[in-house]
Homo-oligomer: A and B are copies of this chain.
Amino acid sequence: MRTYLDCYPCAGRQVVDAACDLDLDEEVAARLMKRVLSLILEADPALPPPLIGRDLHRMLREETGSADPYLALKCQATRQALDLLPEAERRVAAGADPFHEAVVLSISGNVIDLGTGAGRGIDPRDVLDHALAASVDRSGVAALEHAARAARSVLWLADNAGEIVLDRPLLDRIGPERVTVVVRGRPIINDATLEDAARSGITGRFRVIPNGSDVPGTWLPECSEELRSCFASADVVVAKGQGNYETLSGAPRELFFLLRAKCGPVAQDLGVAPGAFVVRHQSDGSALHSAPR
């Protein structure tokens, strides 16, 4: 997805939010704002917005001298989501269609996102209520279930800390034996890393690999050889969250995007209302059919 007009002020808004979330010194925040304004002035609008996010958060880490400024917030979100998990699993298991319920729960968890304006101020503990109120395209879920059941390998491109805990009921139903969970290669905003996956009960239960990059998405040119190889060879790839959609929309393979459309440009690009729960099946550009390979 290209960079939209709205993405420019959004980058500045992320600095304001970081100043608040991380209690930045006023002088540091002002300097970071100037650096980010200079950054977006030079940004290539043909590239996806997470590349601005990558540079913005590199600057933030430089300015704060912290390798993982959101660590405490990520740990808190993980703990809150772990507290929710038993009740979430009960609701999923008790639903008329547990796979569908697990998809809805996973998408509901995508509100735990400190990178977007809409994700801020959300208490992870409210996620179950979001899930109850959600409306998700049933044919998209059915296509995902059909593809996942038939697949030998499912590559799950994870998104944020806390959120990944609530992916577990779905990942369990897809089957731990065929799932590889991909996390970011280095800390970026509240996106999940190897450490966050370990805190979330993902590691050990599922194969987990880092993508080798600090882009808040999956920007293949900067990912590791291992990630690119898995991405090319997996029977099914599921990309979770806005950043993965922004960086992989239009990628030359079949993909399932699962996310909440939390900002105007992503909603516009998907052709949905802001706030929508999205299951989007992207066919391989070279294939007429969207059945799993």
Q: Determine the chain B residues whose CB is within 8 A of the CB of A15 once the complex forms.
A: 5, 8-9
Whether a CB of chain B sits under 8 angstroms from the CB of A85 is no
Whether a CB of chain B sits under 8 angstroms from the CB of A30 is yes
**B-facing residues in A20-59 (Cβ within 8 Å):** 26, 29-30, 33-34, 37-38, 40-41, 45
Q: Determine the chain B residues whose CB is within 8 A of the CB of A33 once the complex forms.
A: 5, 8
Chain A contact residues, majority secondary structure = helix
Q: Determine the chain B residues whose CB is within 8 A of the CB of A13 once the complex forms.
A: 9, 13
User: What number of A residues sit within 8 Å (CB to CB) of B?
Assistant: 21
Whether a CB of chain B sits under 8 angstroms from the CB of A6 is yes
**Structural contact, B12 and A16, CB atoms closer than 8 A:** no
Report the minimal beta-carbon distance from A271 to chain B, rounded to whole angstroms.
Answer: 17
**Structural contact, B16 and A9, CB atoms closer than 8 A:** yes
Whether a CB of chain B sits under 8 angstroms from the CB of A19 is yes
Whether a CB of chain B sits under 8 angstroms from the CB of A10 is yes
A40 to B33, CA, bound (A): 10
Most buried by B among A9, A16, A30, A40: A9
Report the minimal beta-carbon distance from A148 to chain B, rounded to whole angstroms.
Answer: 38
Minimum CB distance partner of A265 in chain B: B16
Q: Determine the chain B residues whose CB is within 8 A of the CB of A40 once the complex forms.
A: 37
A94 to B45, CA, bound (A): 56
Given A9-B10, A37-B8: A45 touches B16 (CB 8 Å cut-off): no
Minimum CB distance partner of A10 in chain B: B9
**Structural contact, A9 and B6, CB atoms closer than 8 A:** no
Q: Determine the chain B residues whose CB is within 8 A of the CB of A6 once the complex forms.
A: 16
Q: Determine the chain B residues whose CB is within 8 A of the CB of A30 once the complex forms.
A: 5, 45
**B-facing residues in A149-202 (Cβ within 8 Å):** none
Report the minimal beta-carbon distance from A174 to chain B, rounded to whole angstroms.
Answer: 39
Q: Residue A8 contacts which of B12, B41, B45 (CB distance < 8 angstroms)? A: B12
Contacts A5-B33, A8-B37, A9-B12 known; list 15 others, CB within 8 Å: A5-B15, A5-B16, A5-B19, A5-B29, A6-B16, A8-B12, A8-B15, A8-B33, A9-B10, A9-B15, A13-B13, A34-B41, A37-B37, A37-B40, A41-B41
Taking Cβ atoms with an 8 Å cutoff, the residues of A that contact B are 5-6, 8-13, 15-16, 19, 26, 29-30, 33-34, 37-38, 40-41, 45
21 contacts between A and B (CB under 8 A): A5-B15, A5-B16, A5-B29, A5-B33, A6-B16, A8-B12, A8-B15, A8-B33, A9-B9, A9-B10, A9-B11, A9-B12, A9-B13, A9-B15, A9-B16, A12-B12, A13-B13, A34-B41, A37-B40, A37-B41, A38-B41
